[in-house]
Amino acid sequence: MNYKEFLKKFPDEKSIIDYFIKIRYPEGIKCPKCGNTKVYQKKARPKVFDCNFCGNSFSIFKDTVFEKTTTDLQKWLFAISKFLNAKKGVSAKQLQREIGVTYKCAWRILHQIRKAMAEENPQGFANGQFSV
Ligand SMILES: [Zn+2]
């Protein structure tokens, strides 16, 4: 799948967030502080949820490569799917061309993905459930 085809499947940030929620929270989202399941997605910031019980606000991307990024989530998800599906690996140059970011940015994305995959208890994407 190239980036154009990928964008048809994931046309906006919200579609990425919905997809991510399905992977990371297969049993639904819970407040990390009190365990309450009545949580509400913020309209203006869909990656942030508010707990109805304790008032805690939390990001569904906590402890993932998405947490502090300023790069589009679509680019991230595409890079991850590329990374997981490429038999011979992905080069920063290749990624740079496909998603239209600087070489430095592409390099950083790949570096972060490799790091996340290598962690002992990876959260989110490194658990083999991820495929686009
Ligand atoms: Zn709570």
Q: How far is the CA of 51 from the centre of ligand 1 (A)?
A: 5
Amino acid at 114: R
CA of 52 to the centre of ligand 1 (A): 7
Length reported for the chain: 132
pLDDT tens-place string over residues 32-61? 999 999 999 998 888 999 999 999 999 999
> 32 C-alpha to center of ligand 1: Å?
7
**Which amino acid belongs to residue 22?**
K
65 alpha carbon – ligand 1 mean position (Å): 24
Can you list the pairs that 101-107 forms with residues at least 24 positions away whose Cβ atoms lie under 8 Å?
101/71, 101/75, 105/71, 106/79
Extents of the domains making up the chain = 1-12+61-132, 26-59
Q: Which residue has the tokens 């995959």?
A: 117
What integer is the mean pLDDT of 81-110? Answer: 94
Distance 121 CA to ligand 1 centre (A): 24
Task: Give the model confidence (pLDDT) of 105-130 as tens digits.
Answer: 999 999 999 888 887 545 555 444 45
pLDDT of residue 122: 52
For residue 42, report the distance from its CA to the centre of ligand 1, in Å.
Answer: 15
Token pair of 75, please?
Answer: 């680019």
Please tell me the distance between residue 55's alpha carbon and the centre of ligand 1 in angstroms.
6
Residues 6+ apart with CB under 8 A from 44: none
Q: Which two tokens stand for residue 13?
A: 């940030």
Can you tell me the distance from the alpha carbon of 108 to that of 115, in angstroms, rounded to the nearest whole number? 10
How close is the Cα of 34 to the center of ligand 1, in Å? 4
CA distance 109 to 107: 5
Per DSSP, helices labelled H in 10-129 are: 13-24, 73-85, 92-99, 103-118
Q: Report d(CA 83, CA 86) in Å as an integer.
A: 6
Q: How far is the CA of 26 from the centre of ligand 1 (A)?
A: 19
